[in-house]
Amino acid sequence: MEPLRKSVLLDRNEGYMLDQGVGWDPDDNAATSFLLGSPSRFLWRHFVEPIANKLFGDWRNRIRRRILRDFPESLICPHCHFILKRK
């Protein structure tokens, strides 16, 4: 457990993701996606998923900051993200 105030999870930018694909994928490029792959998968991987991760990451950070405001001595587990609220 580490103090929530000093946690790196509090100021994490979650809008960017690592590509989990291995090798070549037709959905890596817009042109090959429309010719060989699935346009909906291309839009999902390159637009919807990063935007959703950014929005949910900001939402999580707002909740953590609200908890920190109400419970200034809170602790957080860096592995499972469990928050122990302490005043």
1 DSSP 8-state letter:
-
Task: Give 22's DSSP letter.
Answer: -
d(CA 67, CA 12): 16
Phi and psi dihedrals of 53, rounded to 5?
-65, -40
pLDDT tens for 1-27 read 888 888 867 777 776 666 666 666 666
> How far apart (Å, rounded) are the C-alpha atoms in residues 61 and 55?
10
The SS3 assignment for 56 reads helix
The reported pLDDT for the residue numbered 70 is 92
pTM tops 0.85, yes or no: no
- For the stretch 46-84, pLDDT in tens is 788 888 888 888 898 889 889 988 999 999 888 888 888
More confident residue, 45 or 82: 82
| DSSP one-letter code for 28 | G
